[in-house]
Structures are given as structure tokens and as C-alpha cells.
Structure 1
């Protein structure tokens, strides 16, 4: 996994092969460094609206983020994004044993059981398939930037960027892979 910035993904990783319908996919998370807000879902007939990944995120006419889940993706770029300090991470298997409330470990993880900060949230993709939990980014996880980069609004510090106001982020994806962008970022605090 490499952490990247506004021109490239903030976060990218190869999903482990044994992770259900997403195994072997390549996950990319982009987030605008000039806008730092929470996402807000729009619905039509109890489903996310068609092309929800492009739906307005008020007060903005379009989302300030993009999450892609690519099948048979090309290799990640070797050149790091210049504003974010690229940090390699190694995913390691672990047993995510739910606690007495049915919540998993509160950490960065791919797969396992979500550790919902509030009540669990469930969404149905515009294609009619129920979204499934893919990944969790813990509350307050910051991505270090190189000195001299513009400060991100509502970020913890001038030398870091965050995702969705630093909230706990749960990525729910369409197991039908109806579109590479069919991933919804749930934000909770």
C-alpha cells in the first residue's frame, strides 16, 4: 500500500486474494486536499442513486473524493505523488474476533468485521446488490505531507492530510462489480 496525495491516490492497496468477492482487486482512494468533509448518501427507491459516486456532495456540485475498486488492475505507479510522503505498508493476516457487541478490532484493516463507531449502516447499490464491507480506516488516521504543502481545512495539523474530517471510514463495495467506482465511504465518529 502507498499513501499518496491529491493528484494520485491517498491510499492504494491490492486486496488479498482470499477476501471474498473483492480478492485480487486493486483499491484506490482519492481525496481532495482542498475539501475535507463527510460524505452524504442520496437515495432513490431504497437504493443509492444511480452513479452515486458522482452525485453532488453539498455544497459541492460533485464529490471531493473517489474510491475505485479495479479488477485485473495494472500495477500501481512507481512514482509517488509529490505532496504526500509515500509509505509502504504490509498487510498481515490476523483473526478479527468480534467483541461482545459484535464489533471487530478498531484499526486499519481490509476484511474482517467492522468496528462501527455508531450503528451499523447498510446500503444497496443502484444496481440492486447489497454493498459489502471491504475496508476500514480508523478515526484520526493522518497521511503525512512534505513540508510546504497547503494546509488541509479541518485537518489535525499543517503537516498531515486526513480523510472525511478524520472520521472513522468504512468502505462498502458492490460485490457485483457493476462499476469500478461502486464503493461507498461511510463516515462515523
Structure 2
């Protein structure tokens, strides 16, 4: 595993001393730090080509019901290929809970809005790299009517583990214990628990979902609560003046940032390298069952 080239600022607050109530809820997340590039099929990537067996059909989506493709007309099922969203190798993110006998995760989705959340519908494949054999040479072209905002641009990734604490997922009784401290820390230092000290922004593996709305954790058919597998985020950070989640190495590119500025300004390539937009700057959260060996999955979507 290579050394991360993007560095998240360490927490400026000694959490165990200032917020001891949240320490038991700490989780490790791996920020992927996607950046526009030309990844190969043997690399972990966002929106890049997938290491796909040549003799395995490429999955498509016509929608289970005519209304599934909300952006298509009633007579056009928009039947077309799924698009690559994410490929992760175990060597790059060893903490990802791979099923036994696998070392690669691939995520694809349909680049049309689907019920029930008006979002892309994800599809997961777990593989063993050594079993791929003869590989597919090219990826299918997305459907001509696919929403460009739902087709990620190819990005390399630079995994970096960070420690997270929950905000939306913090139990109400714990919020009651830290509420005054949260306010005092913000007044004294400017650091805000919800934005700077809890969940990491951006596309990541593990940790906590970056909920915008109230948490909605799925439950497996076996009755087990599912675990957060990964988040695909529209933005790697929400504000150009964020103190914590913009990597140190990217700070110079933020000079002169503005949401209303030039589309070619370097800060835009840092904030939204894959060029996707899920609803109103939302995210798709994938979950897996930690108890079932085959790792059944579910997903949720929310936005502001």
C-alpha cells in the first residue's frame, strides 16, 4: 500500500479530553481522495475502467417498471449499460470487509433516476483478481440519454485512513451531554463539531454515512442491522472555507475560490473531481450485512 499523497489535518481538539462521551463511537474511515486522471483496470479508481472478465455479460438496466427511469419518457425504458462508479482492491483498502475468497469490489449504477429516492440504483460485484482471466478490453458506452451528472469521470484514488465520530448518528442522550461543550468549543476556537470534528466529507470507505437528512440504516433479511460500506459523495467538501477536510496539499488551489467563479478554477477539480451531482449535492450510501457470508447489500440516498 502506497503512502497517501493527500493529508487530512489532524483533529485540533483532543477528543478524549474535551469530548470523552463520543470516544466510544469512534470509527476509522478511509478517504479515497479521488482526483481526475487515467486509471487502469488494475487500479483502484472512481469512474475508471473495471477489471471485468471478457466472457461475463455486462449488466444493464431497463428498469423493473416503466416509471423506474424517471428521466425517460413513458415509451422509452432507457435500457442501457450500467456505468462504472468505483473499483477497490484489498491491497489499497484492507479494512474494507471483503467476503472470503475475494479481494476486489466493483460498484456500478444505472445513470438514470430510480425509485424510491430519485437516484441512481447501485449494483455490487465482489471478485477475486486472480479469477478474472481474460479481461474485457473496453467498457460499454453509456446510454445516449444518460444524465452526465450521474456518469463519473475517471479518477485515481489516494486512500487515507482517518478517525471519525458521529454527528447525525450520535445518540440523543450523548448529544445532551456534549451540547454545552460543542457550543463553547465553537465560540472559543471556531471549530464546529458537526462540520469539523465528526464525519469526514467526501467519497470514503467505512466510517459513518455523511447523512444530510435523518439517519436511515437498513436491516438485512436475516434481521441484522447493516454496516456502512462506503459513501459516494457529490462533493469532497461542502464549503471553500472548510478548516478540516480539504487536504493540506490542496489548500493552495483554494486561493480565490468561489461557488460563482470560473468553472476552470483549480478548486473545482478538488471539490468535485468526478463531475457528478447526486440530487442537490447529495450522497449515496452503501451498506452490507456483517453477518451473512455473501455480504448482501442495500443503499440509501439523501440530499439537502
Structure 2 partner of 1:65: 121
Instruction: Calculate the TM-score normalised by the size of structure 1.
Output: 0.58
Shift of 1:162: 4.8
Q: Output the CA distance in 1 between the equivalents of 2:283 and 2:206.
A: 15
Between Structure 1 and Structure 2, the one with more helix by share is 2
Instruction: Decide which structure has the larger Cα Rg and report it.
Output: 2
Gaps of 5+ in 1: 41-56, 58-62, 142-159
1:131/1:18 Cα in 2 relative to 1: closer, same or farther (>3 Å)? same
Q: 8 Å contact 2:232–2:285 — kept in the other structure?
A: yes
Q: 8 Å contact 2:212–2:282 — kept in the other structure?
A: no
* 1:184 pairs with 2:298: yes
Q: 8 Å contact 2:287–2:297 — kept in the other structure?
A: yes
Equivalent runs, 1:39-58 vs 2, <5 Å: 39=116
Q: Output the CA distance in 2 between the equivalents of 1:65 and 1:89.
A: 23
Q: How many matched pairs?
A: 149
Gaps of 5+ in 2: 1-44, 50-80, 143-150, 168-192, 237-274
Match of 1:116 among 202, 211, 214: 211
* 1:3 pairs with 2:43: no
Q: Output the CA distance in 2 between the equivalents of 1:178 and 1:65.
A: 23
* 1:17 pairs with 2:94: yes
For each residue in 1:48-101, what CA deviation from the matched residue of structure 2 results, as whole angstroms up to 9, or x when unmatched? xxxxxxxxx9xxxxx963421515355686645545643322222223344645
Instruction: Calculate the TM-score normalised by the size of structure 2.
Output: 0.39
Match of 1:173 among 288, 291, 303: 288
